[in-house]
A and B are shown apart, each in its own frame.
Chain A
């Protein structure tokens, strides 16, 4: 018989803080339902990304594709420490967030495959996941461009006085973008309820953090904005840290967090990921720090969940993802009219979208008339 109720567990790695007088606890209280939820969501993300890899290699995914495997604990831990009332905006590595904010694996894969059933009707692709009803402001294709948007969203929270905050995520590569510093400055001046989340996966595309950043302690890079470094491979560390971050953002103002993590895949699918690091390094992280494995060990070690139950979850998730792959492959492409839909709204009746029309002669024609 498994134990029930709440169990207190020890976290693995201490936090490092910058200009902070307090820090999150080194223990976390969890229930069986919570652990099951975290594990199954992380494992779904993992299987989804692996299937995206396969779909890409089989040429079903034709666009750019950036995978999140290795970093799942950040998304799931943050969701566990925040609510959907809190806004999230991230970079192009966005599949997992779409899933955690309520979309389905089929929905995410449809967008990757350019199908009508995707959140952007297939017009965006991998980098363009959005979920308005859950305050997920999406993936952004330009490195760092989401940083000032996150500040604007935070201002809206402050303006509304809703007690929620804005989480703006970026990678260690984007940490060197100028607009991040512009946004940090604005956020500090306006005391915005804003958390800048640096997902430090050690490589900005093919350049390691040591070679790209004069100061690779990203949690200190806010200068006048306090920061904290947290183990990004442990879902419970991320959860506890996120609760702390949200409280600080809402009550005090902006804060930077660096989640120490690792991506197993290359930067994108066109990057094999082994030219600037070796296979041993990836294997070592997988063996010692894998976030899905860490969540599984919490399940087993606390005796809240059995191995057999984990196996059952794995089986269900694999079946769900396999079905989603088939559903996405079979899904219809967007209607042709989508080409000119959602460029402008509220046009006069005379307005038409201009473009070449090969059915007539050369020149200027309306593509939608």
Chain B
């Protein structure tokens, strides 16, 4: 564990872009943790007249029913981080188990998993996600489960490919020769080598999970009781924010999504570079 941590820090400080990504994520995490301190109001409370322009009291103005937009934005970081981390995490557990089983056991299990992955990759995901979200009803956890359901196939494919190459390595053969059981080889000898790659993919998957949640919220299929950045944008659009001259109402939440996504992408690529050294920036 200690060496993993040291390795992670080492990776981070040698890669400027990765460090930038880490800083962005740290800033947003602080915002989420310190939301009670940073935000001056309860985001659900009506604290001023509707459509107030930005002022000292309301840095970004108020929305169509008089809630403080800056407080909404600050608390929204919690939702985005929650969606961005849980959805790919669930997908990775599912995908890793299937990928391990498929790559190690082979045979019928492999055929089935590969077939399922092929079907998943050919599915038009957004229309189906939209259909599922519309039928299952608007709840944040439903959306996370849907995202996880559409995200596992990528993990399964990556893990399977890794397992196929690892299982032929001499050390795995040696483990088998001394009588290690199948599950033991899979989890003790193969899984640890795949984990860095899985981590890179979780971090990279966060961006698309956040974007999809925002898109669904914008289409009116998100959870209206949770104030995510996507929900703020939907409200802004429905409340004709731009006609009211409140362009910050639209601009800031979108920028938040883009910056958070950039942070995740930068960090994910830094990890990926570490795992796959050929991608490393070579300074000529």
Chain B binds chain A: no
A residues in contact (CB < 8 Å) with B: none
